[in-house]
Amino acid sequence: MALTLVEASKLSNDSLLTGVIETIALESPILQRLPFVEIVGNGLTYNRENAAPSASFYDVGDDWDESTPTFTQATATLKILGGDADVDNFLKSTRSNIQDLEAAVVQLKAKAVQALFDDTFVNGDDGVDPLSFDGIDVLCAAGQSVSMGTNGAVLTLAKLDEMIDKVRGGKPELLLMSRRTRRTLNELARASGGFLEADRDQFGHMVQYYDGVPIGICDYISDAKTVGTSNDCSTIYAMQFGEGALSGLTAPGGLTVDRVGNLETKDASRVRVKWYAGLALFNSVKLARLTGVRAA
């Protein structure tokens, strides 16, 4: 069973760990929705569905044609991400009357872990950095990519719809884009005589929707990609989540907070936020992208 970080935090009675998970999920539309599958071992080898089998009508006595689905065997490995947070014992003893110093320091470290995961979720490439995992830009199949043109172009609703239609088996569960692209989409909606739908999520934040699909903002989607002769291009991603779609991978226990304890060389205690995590795309038609999106 795949659980999001938010749901997993409900199963923990460690207030520090729960606070870290809530901090991470609060800042990330990705981690609010991405389910994680626990795996035993350091990786997962799975078959990614490429093409479904076909069926035909036959007359009496006809020879039947055999058709089988095709798969690509893929391997996703868990990577180690995290960091240490040192809390000075003197400051903890004398300056925690207004705010819990340890909680504040660990919270900042949790935000750093969230930022690293979000960045890698989009841009990760273990061919460039073997310590990281492949992100959605690498995992997206060539046939699931829609282009705005040889040199890119300003976003149109028709192209956005074309990209959304690339995701099969239901609507996408998230449209992920940059802030600049979201502003362009708002302009397009107003120009067409309407507005993007909006509602509050489980954290009380206002979320916009396009055609019923929630819009997530990711600051790690570049607005300066080069497409043809243009160097001001961005990308929009559409995805479905789940064990048969796009899913995170994690070691048993998920995100953990370890109290390393007092340090030998300085008067401080150390807390380690760590996570053995990865990403797997079980079906290529559950992820699509629109490239070459230029500024309006």
Cα dihedral 78, 240, 24, 203, rounded to 10, equals: -160
Whole-angstrom Cα Rg for the chain: 22
State the distance between the two ends of the chain, measured CA to CA, in whole angstroms.
Answer: 43
DSSP assignment of 87-155: EEHHHHHHS-SSS-HHHHHHHHHHHHHHHHHHHHHHH--TTT-TTS---HHHHS-GGGEEES-TT-EE-
Exposure string over 162-192, b if 16+ CB within 10 A, otherwise e: ebbebbeeeebbbbbbbebbbebbeebbeee
Q: What are the φ and ψ backbone dihedral angles of 178, each rounded to 5 degrees? A: -80, 170
Taking 70 as the pLDDT cut, the residues of the chain under it are: 1-25, 95-99
What is the per-residue pLDDT for 73? 83
Which residue is associated with the tokens 């058709």? Answer: 67
Kind of pairing between the strands at 287-294 and 230-239: antiparallel
Map out the domains of the chain with their CATH numbers: 136-243+284-294 (3.30.2320)
Which are the contacts of 93, defined by CB distance < 8 A and separation ≥ 6?
none
Cα dihedral 253, 240, 181, 25, rounded to 10, equals: -20
What is the per-residue pLDDT for 94? 76
Angle, helices 101-123 vs 15-27, to 10°: value is: 40
What is the per-residue pLDDT for 6? 55
Longest dimension (CA), the chain: 90
Cα gap 27→217, rounded to integer Å: 10
Q: What are the φ and ψ backbone dihedral angles of 271, each rounded to 5 degrees? A: -120, 135
HSE-CB at 84 with a 13 A cutoff on CA atoms is 11
Cα gap 43→134, rounded to integer Å: 13
Hey, is 260 helix, strand or coil? strand
What is the per-residue pLDDT for 171? 93
DSSP assignment of 58-74: --TTPPPPP---EEEEE
Backbone dihedral region for residue 67 (phi beyond 0: left; psi -120 to 50: alpha; all else: beta): beta
pTM of the model as a whole: 0.85
What is the per-residue pLDDT for 196? 86
What is the per-residue pLDDT for 85? 86
Which are the contacts of 124, defined by CB distance < 8 A and separation ≥ 6?
132, 133, 134, 135, 138, 279
The answer to whether the beta carbons of residues 89 and 267 sit under 8 Å apart is yes
